[in-house]
């Protein structure tokens, strides 16, 4: 079978390059040289699992389709002595390859949808609450204080001593504890549900804690709640994931996860609105 086929170089090269791409992709992915950041939240285990399932499905399809493409191209390369086949339809085949992806997608839709609603069910009563404010290019914080209530705020009340525009006339404000942007750390209890109320003074920001698998935009004019359960003690990074201006890449914050008693103790040592705003 020593036939001179035109274009063998290109067919061969395409096969070779495809095999190399597929091999590299499989080895690097399976070897987890780069992988999801170490996990530190409860729902993260579920989203990571769905990620891996999706990775397996798409990975198999990727390998099969790319190799098939390259092999078909190689096998049917130009041959002056042969004529191309003439066919252009095959009902059973077409129905099969419509239904199979449809079934796989349906499974993904169902599992994705269930997980999504589980993540977004309302938080348990009495969950630990904290407010995080984005502003160019730092994070500000507010804790509700002993009464567990956040006081009213108004952008128009913002001034140097009152950076969040807290309405001091609102009784719920009095015991609030706040940290101007860039000061203070976010203290969260380990193993407890945590509700983060996201707000912004200026532009869009996004509250992204890679270790928690939490990402939620902060939108001016809105209070957006997101909740999760931190599962590991330690220090974690908070990143802004929505373009917010020229310092976007520097908008870093620190999250400290520790036992509830320590959080409470730390909170009890902080000054409240009453102490700070005259």
Partner 1 sequence: MVRETTTEVHHHKETFLTRYIFSMDHKVIAIQYLITALAMGFIGLFLSWLMRIQLGWSGRQFPFLSRLFPGGVEEGIIKPEFYLAMVTMHGTIMIFFFITAALVGGFGNFLIPLQIGARDMAFPFLNMLSYWVFLASCIVLVVSFFVTGGPAAAGWTAYPPLSGVAEAIPGSGLGQTLWLLSLALFIASSLFGSLNYITTTLNLRTKGLSMGRLPLTVWALFITAILGLLSFPVLLAAAIMLLFDRHLGTSFFLPRLFIAGHQAGGEGGNPILWQHLFWFLGHPEVYIAILPAMGITSEVLATCCRKPIFGYKAMVLSLLAIAFLSFIVWGHHMFVSGMNPLLGTAFMTTTLLIAVPSAVKTFNWLATIWGGNIKFTAAALFAIGFVSVFTTGGLTGIFLGNPPVDIQLHDTYFVVAHFHFVMGTAAVFGIFAGIYHWFPKMFGRMMNEPLAKAHFWLTFIGVYLIFFPMHYLGISGVPRRFYDFANYDFIPPSVSGVNIFISIAALIVGAAQILFLVNFVWSLWKGPKAEKNPWKATTLEWQAESPPPHGNWGPQLPTVYRWAYDYSRPDATEDFVPQTVPVVGAPAGTDGGKH
Name the minimum Å distance from CB 246 to partner 1.
4
- How far apart (Å, rounded) are the C-alpha atoms in residues 40 and 216? 17
Question: Which option in partner 1, Cu ion, none does residue 3 bind, with CB closer than 5 to 8 A by kind?
Answer: none
Regarding 4 and contact with partner 1 (CB under 8 A), the answer is no
Name the minimum Å distance from CB 214 to partner 1.
7
CB 150 within 8 A of CB 131: yes
* 111 phi, psi to nearest 5 deg: -70, -40
Q: Which residue has the tokens 């092999």?
A: 71
CB 211 within 8 A of CB 40: yes
Token code pair at residue 208: 């992204």
Distance of alpha carbon 225 from its chain centroid, rounded?
A: 15
- How far apart (Å, rounded) are the C-alpha atoms in residues 63 and 70? 11
Q: Which region among 77-85, 121-129, 182-190, 251-259 touches Cu ion (by CB under 5 A)?
A: 251-259
Name the minimum Å distance from CB 268 to partner 1.
30
Q: Which region among 167-175, 178-186, 218-226, 264-272 touches partner 1 (by CB under 8 A)?
A: 218-226
- How far apart (Å, rounded) are the C-alpha atoms in residues 247 and 116? 32
Pick between residue 202 and residue 258 the one whose CB is nearest to partner 1: 202
Q: Which region among 93-101, 142-150, 186-194, 264-272 touches partner 1 (by CB under 8 A)?
A: 93-101
Name the minimum Å distance from CB 150 to partner 1.
18
Pick between residue 197 and residue 205 the one whose CB is nearest to Cu ion: 205
């Amino acid at each position: 079978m020593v036939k001179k086929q035109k274009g063998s170089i290109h067919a061969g090269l395409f096969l070779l390059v495809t095999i190399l791409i597929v091999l590299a992709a499989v080895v690097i992915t399976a070897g987890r040289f780069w992988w999801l950041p170490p996990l530190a939240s409860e729902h993260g285990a579920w989203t990571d699992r769905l990620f891996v399932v999706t990775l397996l499905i798409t990975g198999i399809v990727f390998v099969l389709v790319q190799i098939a493409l390259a092999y078909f191209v190689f096998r049917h390369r130009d041959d002056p002595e042969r004529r191309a086949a003439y066919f252009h339809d095959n009902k059973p085949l077409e129905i099969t390859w419509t239904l199979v992806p449809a079934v796989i997608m349906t499974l993904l839709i169902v599992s994705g949808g269930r997980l999504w609603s589980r993540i977004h069910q309302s938080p348990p009563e009495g969950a630990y609450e904290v407010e995080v404010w984005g502003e160019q290019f730092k994070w500000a914080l507010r804790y509700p204080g002993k009464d567990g209530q956040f006081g009213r705020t108004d952008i128009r009340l913002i001034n140097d001593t009152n950076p969040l525009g807290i309405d001091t006339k609102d009784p719920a404000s009095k015991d609030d504890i706040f940290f101007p942007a860039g000061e203070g750390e976010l203290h969260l209890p380990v193993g407890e549900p945590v509700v983060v109320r996201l707000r912004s003074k200026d532009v869009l920001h996004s509250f992204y804690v890679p270790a928690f698998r939490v990402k939620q935009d902060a939108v001016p004019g809105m209070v957006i709640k997101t909740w999760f359960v931190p599962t590991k003690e330690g220090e974690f990074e908070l990143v802004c994931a929505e373009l917010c201006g020229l310092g976007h890449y520097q908008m870093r914050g620190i999250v400290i996860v520790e036992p509830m008693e320590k959080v409470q103790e730390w909170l009890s040592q902080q000054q409240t609105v009453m102490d700070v705003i005259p």
